[in-house]
Amino acid sequence: MNVVEIENVTKTFGSVTAVDELSLNVPKGCIYGFIGPNGSGKTTTLRMIMNIFYPDSGTIRTFGEEMKGTSTDRIGYLPEERGMYKKMKVRDLLKFYGELKSGRKVDKDVDYWLERLELSDWGHKKIETLSKGMGQKVQFISTIVAKPELIILDEPFTGLDPVNVEVIKDAVLDLRSQGSTVIFSTHDMNVADKMCDFIFMIFKGQKVLDGTLASIQEKYGSDTLRIRTEGGRSTLDNLEGVDRITDFGKLQELRIKLGFDHQEVLRQIMSRTQVYSFELATPTLYEIFLRIAGPEAKEQVDA
């Protein structure tokens, strides 16, 4: 069963088409990652699912129903920009948001989540006194405290240190295991790579990727040679059969031209320097993202 079904949805703002003929299905109980460069239409799509924006054409069904004009109590939403009353105390705010959505007392849930996210000591503090990261965690709790069936998180990891990123990731995985469906947008390909059951990439309002990570990588094939050498990046110039080199410092990724033998490339490198290790790999999500939305893609479009 699909929790969200988007069919041929278009949304324009003046002369700008933010989302163009988009179709997408989000199955129940999965984690769906929305990726795409800034201004590509991720947030607009999320807001349309939330009924904050209505599509110009096409239909959006959540839980099998078109919900135009109604509030969406079964969905928890964490907006990209934080929306909290600065003068309210943390615990009061969480209770207010939770009870407004669920219509029941949520004191126990608030206590549980404050403790889990190490915010118990901050319950009586005003929102305006919190750091950006803490504010982000409070906003996250406010989104999930009412136990919604569908959780939509727009850039949930922004402003968090690595420890807190892990804390939120664990919480999201737990919620999924308890039956919630999670949609989140992110710029962090590592997070999307590791957490998502499905990945959807939108670019200039259009869907360019949709599926499991494995199916996406399969589409791009094993065209990447990941290599560590003594000479490093400087010894890899002007190799025959190499389209592009991505330098990670101690490690380089070489994209092999379509139809060219990777063994031949390896031989050329070994003749120049000592090879410590190599691996023939599928491109990472990061690499695929850059191929679609990076300068290389722009060069191809311009050409």
Partner 1 sequence: MHKTLRFIKREYLAAVKTKGFIIMLVLMPVLMGGSGIAMYLLQGQVDTKDKRVVIVDRSGIVADMVLKAAEQRNAAAVFDKETGKKVRPAYVFETAEPDVTDPQAQRLELSERIRKGELHAFLEIGQNVLHPEGDPSTFQIKYHAKNAAIDNVRNWLNNTINPYLRKIRLSEEGIEESKADEIMTWIQVDAMGLVSVDEETGAIKEARKTGEAEAILVPVVLFFLMFMLVMMGAMPLLQSTMEEKTQRIAEVLMGSLQPHQFMAGKVLGGLLVSLTGALVYVAGGVFFLGRMGLRDLIPFHVIPWFFAFLILEIVMVGSILAAFGSACNDPKDAQNLTFPAMFPVFFPMFVFMPVLTEPTSAFATWLSMFPLFTPMLMVIRKAAPVGIPAWQPWVGLVGVLLFTAFIVWIGGRIFRVGILMQGGPPKLSNMIKWSFRG
Q: Rounded CA gap, 213 and 138, in Å?
A: 30
Q: How far is the CB of 54 from partner 1 (least distance, A)?
A: 10
DSSP H stretches of helix in 106-233: 107-116, 132-144, 162-177, 189-195, 213-220
* Other beta carbons within 10 Å of 112: 13
Q: Which residues in the 52-81 window bind partner 1 by CB under 8 A?
A: 52-53, 69-73, 75-77, 79, 81
Residues whose CB is less than 8 angstroms from the CB of residue 140 and which lie 6 or more positions away in sequence, other chains included: 78, 117, 153, 156, 168, 171
Identify which range of 15-23, 86-94, 208-216, 270-278 contacts partner 1 by CB under 8 A: 86-94
Q: Which residues in the 137-196 window bind partner 1 by CB under 8 A?
A: 142
- Out of 16, 27, 64, 87, the only residue in the binding site for partner 1 (CB under 8 A) is 87
Which of 80, 296 has the CB closer to partner 1?
Answer: 80
Which of 67, 281 has the CB closer to partner 1?
Answer: 67
Q: In a 3-state reduction of DSSP, which class is residue 9?
A: strand
Q: Rounded CA gap, 47 and 56, in Å?
A: 13
Q: How far is the CB of 182 from partner 1 (least distance, A)?
A: 15
Q: Rounded CA gap, 46 and 52, in Å?
A: 9
Query: Token pair 């947030």 is at which residue?
Result: 43
**Could you tell me how many residues of this chain bind partner 1 (CB under 8 A)?**
29
240 lies in the site for partner 1, by CB under 8 A: no
Q: How far is the CB of 170 from partner 1 (least distance, A)?
A: 23
On whether the CB atoms of residues 207 and 200 are closer than 8 A, the answer is yes
Residues in contact with partner 1 by the rule CB under 8 A:
47, 50-53, 69-73, 75-77, 79, 81-88, 96-97, 99-101, 103, 142
